[in-house]
């Protein structure tokens, strides 16, 4: 199986599908996350392999931008 994590959430999906398909299946907006494996960015056409652990990094985070 393939593990996906996002903040404190964790899911498992079957290998063989693309990251994009996995995100769609989990109802996660691809625009809102960046997928990484072992701290390296991957694109959403990457085909997931058995044992992959994909960490989804939130695009929106804190900040104190005001003008």
Partner 1 sequence: MKCKTCGKTAAVNMRHHKLALCGEHYLEWLPSQVQRFIEKQKLFTHEDRLLVAVSGGKDSLSLWDMLLRLGYKAAGFYIGLGIDEGIAYSEESHQKTVQFIEKFHPDVQLHVVDVEQTYGMTIPELSRARRRHDKPCSVCGLNKRHIMNRVAVEGGYILVTGHNLDDEAAVLMQNTLRWQTGYLARQAPLLESTHPNFARKVKPLARIYEREMAAYALVRGIDYIYEECPFSTGATTLFYKTLLNQLEGQSPGAKLSFYLEFLRARKEGLFKAAQDSVQLHECNYCGQPTSAPGLCSFCRMWERGDKPSPSIVLDAALQFASFESAGVTEEVTT
Applying CB under 8 A, the residues found at the interface with partner 1 are: 29-32, 34, 36, 39-45, 57-67
Residue whose CB is less far from partner 1, 17 or 57: 57
Least distance CB 57 / partner 1 (angstroms): 6
Residue whose CB is less far from partner 1, 1 or 58: 58
Least distance CB 12 / partner 1 (angstroms): 23
Least distance CB 1 / partner 1 (angstroms): 24
| Beta-bridge partner residues of 20 | none
DSSP 9-66: EEEEE-TTSBHHHHHHHTT--GGGEEEEETTEE--TTPBP-TT-EEEEEES-------
């Amino acid at each position: 199986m393939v593990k996906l994590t996002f903040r404190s959430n964790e899911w498992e999906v079957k290998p063989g599908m693309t990251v994009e398909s996995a995100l769609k299946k989990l109802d996660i907006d691809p625009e809102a996350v960046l997928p990484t494996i072992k701290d390296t960015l991957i694109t959403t056409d990457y085909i997931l392999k058995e044992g992959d652990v994909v960490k989804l990094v939130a695009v929106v985070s804190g900040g104190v931008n005001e003008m």
